[in-house]
Each structure stands twice: as C-alpha cells, then as structure tokens.
Amino acid sequence: MSKIKPSKGAPYARILGVGGYRPTRVVPNEVILEKIDSSDEWIRSRSGIETRHWASPEETVAAMSIEASGKAIADAGIAASQIGAVVVSTVSHFSQTPAVATEIADKLGTDKAAAFDISAGCAGFGYGLTLAKGMVVEGSAEYVLVIGVERLSDLTDLEDRATAFLFGDGAGAVVVGPSQEPAIGPTVWGSEGDKSETIKQTVAWDRFAIGDVSELPLDSEGNVKFPAITQEGQAVFRWAVFEMAKVAQQALDAAGISPDDLDVFIPHQANVRIIDSMVKTLKLPEHVMVARDIRTTGNTSAASIPLAMERLLATGEAKSGDTALVIGFGAGLVYAATVVTLP
C-alpha cells in the first residue's frame, strides 16, 4: 500500500476571470498593401481581417501579459498573491531562457508562484487551460493564471503575400480556480507531426545566427530576412475545416452536450472562412454566438481565444454562465478543444 497521502484539490475547476490587452497601434489593410500586390477587398474576402494591432517596442510580451493578467485577476476577485502557478503560451518570446512566465509572476506580485512557458502555437491556450484544470483539481495550486500572448508582428514577412496580412499582437489571460460543479469539460487534444511543414518558421535560429546568407531568404533590397512564420494556406484551410470540426464535435460529445446546448462558440481566430465553415459543419443553431474577433484583431495565435472571450463578455454578446465551445489549432500541427462555462 502506498504511503503517499492523496491530493486535496478542488472537486472541479472553472474560469473565474478573464482579461485582455490589445496594443494601441491599429494597423489597417492599407498599411499591409504597401509591401504586397493585393487589395483590401481580397484580404477581407480571404480572411475577414480589416485591421490588426501591432505592438510598440514598449509593449513587450511581458508587458502585454501583465496588463491582461491584472484585468483577469481583478475580474476573478482574488489577489495576485493567491496565484499558485503562471502558465504562458507563446512562440514570440525570443529569449530561450528564462521563461517569461517567471518575470510576469514576479511583477504581478505572486508569492513565488510556479511559472513556465509552453509552445503549442495557436492551440496553446487550450493546452494551458488543461494544465491549469489539472493543477486545481490535483491540488498543486488553488488558482492558476493562464496567459496566451504573441508579438507576431516580429515574425511576419511583410513581403509574403500569403501571410503578411494575417498576424496581430496581443495578450489574453484567464484565472482558473476551484469549482463545486463541472465548468471545464474534458479536453480533446493531440498533434499531427506529419503535417508540421504546413506551418513553420522560415529559418531556424541557428541558421540565422551562423551568418551564412547563401541559403537564407533575402528581401527585395537584398537584405537577409528575419525568421518569419510561413504556411501552406490551402493545406491548412482543408485541415482546419474538415479535421477540426470533428475535434470540436468530439469535445461536445466528451462534455455530454449537443450543439443545441451551446450558447457561444469561440474558435481560434485564424480565418473567418474557416470559422464559418466550422459553424456550418457543426450545424450550430442560430442562437449560438460565434466569435469573429479576427476582423479587428487579426490572428494572434495563443492569445486569440482569451481575447475573443474577453471581448464577447465586455460587449454583452456573451454573458457569465454561458456554455462555450473553445477550440485552438495550428503549428505542429496541434489542436485542443473543450467546453467551458464562461466567467
């Protein structure tokens, strides 16, 4: 017989508060068109994007995270010192170590909270939410701060017609804490590494650092391009539309609900056409509010779901207690979907 005492966590976990931060600079499609041969109408019809936010030098990954987290902590009605763990999902914090989560935990005023970063691309928020739920239920932390944050403008090739218009910057955060009833459903998640080439960084950091430009991409002026995110648009679109709708349905099944039971659908804000196709495939009823935050925020990867959640609640398009299906999917290829009760 084991001598280890059982964990004393909560029966269940829930999202208690949400916060978001969008950089002050708003970038319309006209700015993107200065470097690519396209049109505002083409960008809107292909992606739904009208504007996006780009961070200033002062709006760092840490700074944006702290702003969003402060709002989430206040919304949850707790003190920062009660946070037991900080989980940050990002692919655009360029210091390999230490984790940016440690800086955020310190500056927020947590009491030496556990802190670490994860890299799960556009599914990162779902991954972090799942880890947070486990910590609360297991008892290793009473309250967990989950942050999705990106400065994708730093990883955007403005001369790449396929991706230059897609990406934006921002941070979204939620506080996960104890609940007496189920409020975060089972997560359906996974990866398809055989498709990893469909979304990737153009040049690995070590190749960029070597200084040998013979195999590195050059811009229109002959300068070596900074590493950027590239993707095979059609392959990603087909995968997201056909495969991720199946994952979303599996998350509904795992939670024991049907589309009719949903109030809100918050998919990763990758592309309006993908969102609309998923709504059609899932046969969501008209009463289900669908997040389309991408129109004015762009694709913010790990930040997109909490940012969209925060906006829906702030505008009253969704309300506390609503049942929401959330799904993230992207580079890896990775995905994560679950059903939650909105804070």
Q: Which residues are catalytic?
A: 122, 268, 299
* Triad 230, 236, 241: Cα angle to 5°: 155
Which tokens go with 240? 């997201």
Which tokens go with 231? 């993707």
Which tokens go with 123? 């599914």
Which residues are CB-contacts of 81 (< 8 A; sequence separation ≥ 6)?
109, 110, 111
Contact 327, 267 (CB under 8 A): yes
CA nearest neighbour of 285 among 306, 268, 260: 260
Q: Using CA atoms, how far apart are residues 280 and 110, in angstroms rounded to an integer?
A: 43
Q: Using CA atoms, how far apart are residues 340 and 319, in angstroms rounded to an integer?
A: 13
Q: Using CA atoms, how far apart are residues 194 and 171, in angstroms rounded to an integer?
A: 30
DSSP three-state, residue 305? helix
Q: Using CA atoms, how far apart are residues 195 and 197, in angstroms rounded to an integer?
A: 6
Which tokens go with 191? 């990866």
Q: Using CA atoms, how far apart are residues 130 and 114, in angstroms rounded to an integer?
A: 16
Backbone torsion region of residue 48, taken as left when φ is above 0, otherwise alpha when ψ lies between -120 and 50, otherwise beta: left
Q: Using CA atoms, how far apart are residues 330 and 320, in angstroms rounded to an integer?
A: 28
How does 312-329 read in b/e, with b if 16+ C-beta sit within 10 Å?
bbeeeebeeebbbbbbbb
Strand-pairing partners, residue 201, are: 229
DSSP 218: B
CA nearest neighbour of 219 among 157, 156, 163: 157
